[in-house]
Structure 1
């Protein structure tokens, strides 16, 4: 079994985040015992910020058995299609990362809708990469991935 990992699960352990440290370690160990753990190059880049040098980062992946699998054209195409759907359907609201519920935000001064991009293309590449290479993603951003990658199984 191949399982992909989102950045947030690994950051919970590396920073460490007291709220999620135990649960993220537990799920990581559970899926490591079931097979191979992989990340895409964007997760690799996001994690690089937590290490003092490149060798330390390489040692972390070597010690944990996590492998980086580069994205291919299919991953990038699927990410682009999902991104297009997101941009087309994006609401003027915050979106809960757990359930996907939209929460509108307005300016208290002029009452105009506050607009911002909540997800960036890297989120879509991570999702598409997991779908193509693993079919299962360990993440805490379940609402987002459920919406745009319906065939992707999620745990975390």
Structure 2
């Protein structure tokens, strides 16, 4: 199972000039080989950016992307990593959702498709990252 980060999903949904094509190809390739899932943090972040009342999951279901809720262990890991980030002097532009996505991918999936690879490499060592290249 492969988790999908908000950044990649937003690229696809808004048709980003630089990253949409690479992100779409990356997700398409992942769907050929495995299940692709989003957790509640991704659903909330992306739904908030949509200019429609249509459910994000209604848009994703036909593509084969499904919802997988965050487990308790992943929520706890996210909290610990967020605390570590703050202790190391991390600034507020990083939100808890980033840590929820990373912990979900690390503990409940086999990989994460993201463009924010530097952050996830630092805080979720050992997590396999799939990075779309524009």
Q: Same fold (TM over 0.5)?
A: yes
Larger radius of gyration: 1
After superposition, what is the alpha-carbon deviation per residue over 1:12-44, rounded to whole angstroms, capped at 9, x for unaligned? 011111100111011001101011000100111
User: Partners of 1:54 and 1:12 in 2: how far apart?
Assistant: 18
Q: Would the aligned equivalents of 1:135 and 1:151 in 2 still touch at CA under 8 Å?
A: no
By how many angstroms is 1:47 displaced? 1.7
2:101 is aligned, of 122, 126, 129, to 126
Deviations 1:51-103 (A, max 9, x none): 51234x33212111111111111011100111111111126xxxxxxxxxxxx
* Deviant stretches of 4+, over 2 Å: none
| TM-align CA RMSD | 1.3
Q: TM-score, normalised by structure 1?
A: 0.79
Aligned length: 130
Q: How many Å separate the matches in 2 of 1:20 and 1:129?
A: 24
CA distance in 1, matches of 2:68, 2:101: 11
Relative contact order (alpha carbons < 8 A, sep ≥ 6): 1 or 2 greater? 2
1-structure distance, mates of 2:110, 2:126:
8
What is the match of residue 106 of structure 1? none
CA contact (8 A) 2:2 2:105 kept: yes
Q: Structure 2 length normalisation: TM-score?
A: 0.91
Distance 1:64 1:51, change over 3 A: farther
Does structure 2 conserve the Cα–Cα contact (< 8 Å) formed by 1:138 and 1:155? yes
Q: Is the 8 A contact 2:57 2:66 kept in 1?
A: no
- SS of structure 2 residue aligned to 1:54: coil
Stretches of structure 1 lacking an aligned partner (at least 5 in a row): 92-115
Q: Report the Cα distance in structure 2 between the residues aligned to 1:31 and 1:90, rounded to whole angstroms.
A: 35
Q: Which structure has greater helix proportion? A: 2
